[in-house]
Amino acid sequence: MKKLMILSAIALTSVFTGCTKVKHLADINVDIPYNQEVNIPQYAGGYSGMPIPGGGAQLPFPAIPVATNSKAYIAQYNTSAEKIIKVDLKSLTLQILSPEGQNFDFLDNVQVYISGQTLPEMLLASNYSVPKGLSTLTLTTATDVNLKNYFLQDTIYFRLNAHINAVPISGTRLNIASVFHMLANPLE
């Protein structure tokens, strides 16, 4: 009798484990890219290419609205907001689009913040030691942060804060390329 109970327990465990495996096979894992072009704001205290006295200055950017299109993604992948398990930031890259030949030598460090209309601002990605000579800069993303509530907003806002050591060339244009990762399970 004990052997029969043990075999029954093993069989039930196998059935439940198998269901869990099937459930995870149905997970929706999708990368969602966003690209946003912005002009670097003019620094009021100097002229293009001039060094900034006193070891640098902060160069805050205005908030940049980005449409999430979350409702379209949710519909496209046959899921719902309630079935989204997690959204995180996979990567964030800044690239200088113009003028040609401009690089990030004017930049000491940069932080990118995210906020929503009803959600607080939080640090999303950063680079605290910008190497010289680069025109594309990959930032370190915040880890273990679930951005689901931000993703579900119609619009999110990116805000850059930069510490500069020289005034960037007037009209410098950047592309902010971010890739969010959505995990959802339509079986839940």
Over residues 146-169, the pLDDT tens digits come to: 999 999 999 999 999 999 988 888
Residue 3 lies in a domain: no
CA distance 30 to 46: 44
As for how many domains the chain has, the answer is 1
Q: Of 178, 176, 177, 171, give the one whose Cα is nearest residue 102.
A: 171
Residue 65 lies in a domain: yes
CA distance 20 to 69: 31
Over residues 46-99, the pLDDT tens digits come to: 555 566 767 788 888 899 999 999 999 999 988 999 999 999 999 999 999 999
**CATH label of the domain that carries residue 89:** 2.60.120
Residue 127 lies in a domain: yes
pLDDT of residue 42: 81
Q: Rounded to whole angstroms, what are the CA distances from 149 to 3, 116, 166, 175? A: 50, 9, 37, 24
CA distance 163 to 60: 8
Residue 146 lies in a domain: yes
Percent with pLDDT over 70 in the chain: 81
Residue 172 lies in a domain: yes
Q: Of 169, 178, 160, 177, give the one whose Cα is nearest residue 100.
A: 169
Residue 11 lies in a domain: no
Predicted TM-score of the model (pTM): 0.81
Residue 142 lies in a domain: yes
Residue 70 lies in a domain: yes
Would you give the DSSP letter of residue 43? P
Which residues form the domain of 163? 28-184
